[in-house]
Amino acid sequence: MRSGQGVFTYASGETYSGYFLNDYYNGYGTWSHPDGDSYEGQFVNDYFHGWGTYIYPNGYRETGQWVEGEIEEEG
């Protein structure tokens, strides 16, 4: 079971770098997908949750408060 800071890369090329707790992304981290999507910010139980920024391949950014993977308040 992963706990503490580390990096995990899936066979698909998806990568997470940050904190793990009980095998979940928890705390501050960076997630990236090979298609160019990425997210940097807070995670809770593998969800984008808390303050963070999602960056799309075209460069568009969504920064704000995230709740269970959905942006609730942009800021």
Q: With bands split at pLDDT 50, 70 and 90, how would you rate the model's confidence at 75?
A: low
Mean pLDDT of 23-42: 97
Mean pLDDT, the chain, integer = 95
Q: How many domains does the chain have?
A: 1
Would the pTM count as exceeding 0.85?
yes
Check which CATH number belongs to the domain holding 58 and give it.
2.20.110.10
Q: In what order do the strands lie in the sheet with 4-9?
A: 4-9, 15-21, 24-32, 38-44, 47-55, 61-67, 70-74
pLDDT of residue 74 exceeding 80: no
User: What does the pLDDT look like over 7-22, one tens digit per residue?
Assistant: 999 999 999 999 999 9
Domain encompassing residue 30: 4-74
